[in-house]
Amino acid sequence: MSRSDKHILVVSAIRPRHMEELAAKYELHRWDQATDKDAFLANVADRITALVSTAGVGVPTELIGKLPNLRVITSFGVGYDAIDIAACTARGIRVSNTPDVLNDDVADTAIMLLLATLRRLVVGDHWARSGQWSEKGAMPLTTTARGKKLGIVGLGRIGQAIASRAEPIGMEIGYFGRSKKPVDYHYEADLIGLANWADVLMVSCPGGAATQGIINADVLKALGPRGFVINIARGSVIDEPALIAALRDGVIAGAGLDVFHNEPHMDRAFAEFDNVVLYPHNASGTVETRDAMAQMVVDNLAQWFADGTLVSPVN
């Protein structure tokens, strides 16, 4: 198959250097840059066999329906809840993601948020910068992580990487998931049960319909006024109005959040709480990890065009 036979629709671009590599190998059609997307698509739709996007953007289901010869979607990111996998599978469209290469940075960020939330890093930074330290003396005492119970919602690859970092801190590990895993951590078959048990609820499960809003008002109430919630999963996993109410009313002690509904237009109510640490969905946001993710997209496409298989298939 020649370069002219390899037409790729770009819905959301990956790293610049890797986009240059794709442009050198394939015919790229930049739907992401088109002003009139319908007119653009009318000229290229029949030629498109592959598609590149990112987890944050996904692929609109109606767009898939307009690409009759689409055979593969390569997505930059682990999550694929913004891609209709069932519809793709029904049409024989293969989907790939970029797992594992971001586990360490995401797990590091989870621990960063946990410690920053419990130890009130942002408040402390402001205390020093604003002059309150010299005017008022030491800032109020905070909460230690050592000896606390960390309840992980979703003990997948990232969840286990988080647990491996929390153990040396001196935290006791528990988890909730679809099934018990061959680990020595405390297992709760019920999410309310895990919230009752935990001091810190760490959300690291996949997004999608099955987990939408599972961290709800009942779970937050079970976590209690000394409990904290950390979310590095997807914004959809938490019922945000319930979380905002819980923070406002002292139902829980605080939160560390990397992900939100309607990103990047997060609910501004979160910015009003000094017991919340905010991070702009940047858990995997290091040069090294994003380059590795982009390379996996490149590798998935190369392998697909070579033999019809994928390095990291989803379906």
Q: Which residues of the chain have pLDDT under 50?
A: none
Running DSSP on this structure, what letter comes out for residue 139?
P
Which helix (H) or strand (E) segment holds residue 153: the answer is strand 149-153
pLDDT tens digits for 107-163?
Answer: 999 999 999 999 999 999 999 999 999 999 999 999 999 999 999 999 999 999 999
pTM for this entry: 0.91
> Which among 52, 43, 97 has a CA at the least distance from the CA of 70?
52
Phi-psi region at 139: left, alpha or beta (left = phi > 0; alpha = psi -120 to 50): beta
**pLDDT reported for residue 178:** 87
Asked if 60 and 84 touch (Cβ cutoff 8 Å), the reply is no
> What contacts 257, CB < 8 A, 6 or more positions away?
113, 230, 231, 270, 276, 277, 278, 279
Q: Can you tell me which residue has the tokens 């050592």?
A: 146
Q: What residues are annotated to the active site?
A: 234, 263, 281
| CA separation for the pair 160, 128 (Å, rounded) | 35
- Give the chain's radius of gyration (CA, Å): 22
**pLDDT reported for residue 108:** 98
> What contacts 282, CB < 8 A, 6 or more positions away?
109, 258
Number of Cβ within a 10 Å radius of residue 125: 11
Which helix (H) or strand (E) segment holds residue 174: the answer is strand 172-176
Residue 257 pairs in a beta bridge with 231, 278
**pLDDT reported for residue 173:** 98
Asked if 264 and 138 touch (Cβ cutoff 8 Å), the reply is no
Asked if 197 and 219 touch (Cβ cutoff 8 Å), the reply is no
**pLDDT reported for residue 184:** 95
pLDDT tens digits for 87-102?
Answer: 999 999 999 999 999 9
